[in-house]
Structure 1
Amino acid sequence: MAELAALAVLLGLARLAGAAAARLGQPAVLGEILCGVALAPAARLLPAPVGATLTALAQLGLVLFLFAAGAHLAPSLTAARLKATVVPALGATLVPLGLGALLAVWLARRHAPGGTGPFVVFVAAAMTVTALPVLARILADRGLLAADAGRRALGAAAVTDVTAWLLLIGAAFSRHGWFATSSLPVVLGLAALPVVARGRFGRRIGRLAPGSATAVLVALACAAAAVTAAAGLHPAIGAFFAGAVLGRAVPILDPAALVTPAGSLLAPLYFVLAGRAVDLGQLDAALAAEIAAVVAVAVLGKGGGAYLGARLGGVAPHPAGVFAVLMNTRGVTELVFAGIGLGLGVIDRALYTAMVVMALVTTAMTGPLLTRLSPQREGV
């Protein structure tokens, strides 16, 4: 009973906070994270069994959210779309990657519990992230999905996010050892998934009724998550990979649309608990300076790199500015990244706090900056 009461209260408060953020023109996740930060002192007083149950439900919400995000990313991974955005995407990937690596070398002396190598790879990857699901929602709300700006941003976001996830997997493997005996089955299993999905098994899934298909997709998402978790990696990695594979293998089912409702129910719980992990009690002058540096490098690296790449790709100044603003959208993907890094022991709680602040700031910037640029829509 206590678990159900706590779940009802947290989900209710998360929805209220998300609705309040939406009324202010911000993504709902912004309110959900701030709700978690505000509730942190009370949430830490929950009995251990209640906390464990809520964490398990939040983990399920994260797995389904990442599976849907991977499936949502799959349509952007076409040769035509990626070719058209290769130069802007390189700018939006390589510049933040390089600046993030330099920042990580400076931060490693205080915040790298798992060693400098995995830490540098993780921070560099975190600087390249663009939240594709949030970006797609912003473009849809502003009628830009079919515009050049929308197609350019989605294609480039696909490149940067695939790069970031591959680097994250590399950081996870290097943290736990490339030659760990548990890693080989994971590599073989993930490599076999595209083959299986495009074979008879995938065709059978494509013929299922929506209810049965949803149950199968949820089971596959959880199975992929369990496989990576068993190898010492984060379960979200397997869920994301499975979503990306199945999104391309059985597009007729639209896996993202089928799984999103289930993920949307529990995902706010994950973001509230993510806010609970933010520890402002450690805030001092040194950490405040590091948070400012993380935010500055994130904005300048991603925005500046995207603008430079777009200009080198022949995009006019104003559309290049719109592209830079869109690519700087970190959203929930950055929060998931930070949570994975903390769970893997690659970063400590202080840097996790800095990453959450950066995600909130960059997400909050997107709407006002796009509104400011909107009067000059010509050429977008």
Structure 2
Amino acid sequence: MPEFAVLFAALAVLLGLARLAGRLTAALGQPAVLGEILCGVALAPAGRVLPAPVESALSAIAQLGLVLFLFAAGAHLAPAMTATRLKAAVVPALGALLVPLALGAALAVWLARRHAPAGPGPFVVFVAAAMAVTALPVLARILAERGLLDDIAGQRALSAAAVTDVAAWTLLAIAAASLHGRSMTAPLAAMAAMTALPVLSRSRFRRWIARQSRSSATAVLVALACAAAAVTAAAGLHPAIGAFFAGAALGHAVPAIDPAGLVTPAGALLVPLYFVLVGRAVELGGLDAALAVETAAIVVVAVAGKGGGAYLGARLAGVSPRPAGVFAALMNTRGVTELVFVSIGLGLGVIDSAFYTAMVVMALVTTAMTGPLLTRLTQQREEV
């Protein structure tokens, strides 16, 4: 059978299975991405039965979905980065950032002897950053579903998540650059130059793109996302890093055209394939007793660091206990952002496949916790 026929058949099967699995988990009250990951895990024992060129093409298509997804995530982040919101959220955000960074770094020192193929330095930076991640797109969706987007608690959580995610992605960029012994100057200068034109000439760019049709504006944004990915890939970083920061810059420069809303449908079409491939990389066969203990420790540190740090930060900011608990539950949401984060770490060679498996388990556990925790806290508030 011609390779193109195999490729399109594989796309049809994998995208169809991903959608079905996502619908099943959504019906159970969990995020669709949980089903997409588990779909990949279920397919993993079959191994790589497709020809190598087809596997490569599937990976490239999935990477495009990831680039568009993270561009939209960065654009979603931009509205939360206003001076007023950041000022109100700075103390809670510091708690949700510094505590997981510190606990993650301490955990990484213990785990580095078994899981740091590129050396302990990049591994410690990566793990600390991974523990600080909050899934901003999932968080925004949860807040919208529960009518909390305009609530002070929801705005506090979005702003704090924006701060922690920018810090985490910056640390990831530093870890990636250190692998090649490179300075961050060239990659950061490239990203700044690429986004400077629409940001510095904001009004002109806004007027120009406002005159374009919806399809033309989408094409421009997709082209900018791909250009950002190409720049960071050429600089030795992961392409998704450039897409994320470009989305944040453009979302802040031209919020009226809603960059996230224009690009999200294109990313949503392809990104389930990426998460199926994420699941396929999970090696449950390597889950021995030692890794099981390490996985349990990772989950405990992740919840204690992010949830505990967020709660502490909120309390120090004067938030009462129950709203502080809601804030902590929201900030503990790892979701798809964590899955993307650890898959990039695996691709860069910062972590090994065993640690990757443990982190995927942690991301799924913390994501599954969010809904029940919020429901419980909300019920307690209503009872009072």
Q: How does 1:362-377 map to 2 (within 5 A)?
A: 362-377=366-381
Instruction: For 2:383 and 2:118, locate their aligned partners in 1 and report how far apart those are by CA, in whole Å.
Output: 47
| Amino acid in the other structure paired with 1:15 | R
Give the deviation of 1:46 after TM superposition. Answer: 1.4
One-letter amino acid of the structure 2 residue matched with residue 372 of structure 1: R
Q: Does 1:345 align with 2:346?
A: no
Question: 1: CA distance between counterparts of 2:206 and 2:46?
Answer: 46
Alignment of 1:39-188 (within 5 A): 39-179=43-183, 185-188=186-189
| Number of equivalences | 377
SS at match of 2:142: helix
Query: Does structure 1 residue 11 correspond to structure 2 residue 48?
Result: no
**Which residue of structure 1 aligns with residue 192 of structure 2?**
191
1:43 deviation in Å?
4.9
Alpha-carbon offset, residue 109 of structure 1: 0.5
Q: Given the superposition, is the C-alpha separation of residues 212 and 320 from structure 1 closer, same or farther in structure 2, using an over 3 Å criterion? A: same
Structure 1 residues 299-326: Cα deviation after superposition (integer angstroms, max 9, x where no partner): 0100101111111110011101111000
Equivalent residue letter for 1:193: M
Instruction: Tell me the secondary structure at the aligned position of residue 36 of structure 1.
Output: helix
Residue of structure 1 equivalent to 2:246: 242
Tell me by how many angstroms 1:291 deviates. Answer: 0.6
The question of whether the paired residues in 2 share the 8 Å contact of 1:294 and 1:354 is answered with yes
Q: Calculate the TM-score normalised by the size of structure 2.
A: 0.96
1:323 partnered with 2:327: yes
% identical equivalent positions: 77
The amino acid across from 1:214 in the alignment is: T
Q: For residue 214 of structure 1, what is the aligned residue in structure 2?
A: 218
State the Cα deviation string for residues 225-265 of structure 1 (Å, max 9, x = none): 01111122101001101100110111111000000000000
1:225 and 2:229 aligned: yes
User: 1:255 — aligned with what?
Assistant: 259
CA–CA separation in structure 2 for the residues paired with 1:219 and 1:250: 16
Distance (Å, rounded) in 1 between the aligned partners of 2:52 and 2:44? 15
Letter in 2 for 1:147: D
Aligned alpha-carbon RMSD (Å): 1.5
Question: In 2, distance between residues paired with 1:206 and 1:279?
Answer: 47
For residue 23 of structure 1, report the CA deviation from its aligned partner.
0.5
Structure 2: distance between partners of 1:11 and 1:146: 35
Distance 2:128 2:300 in 1: 14
Match of 2:293 among 289, 298, 309: 289
- What letter corresponds to residue 292 of structure 2 in structure 1? A
Q: Distance in 1 between matches of 2:207 and 2:356?
A: 42
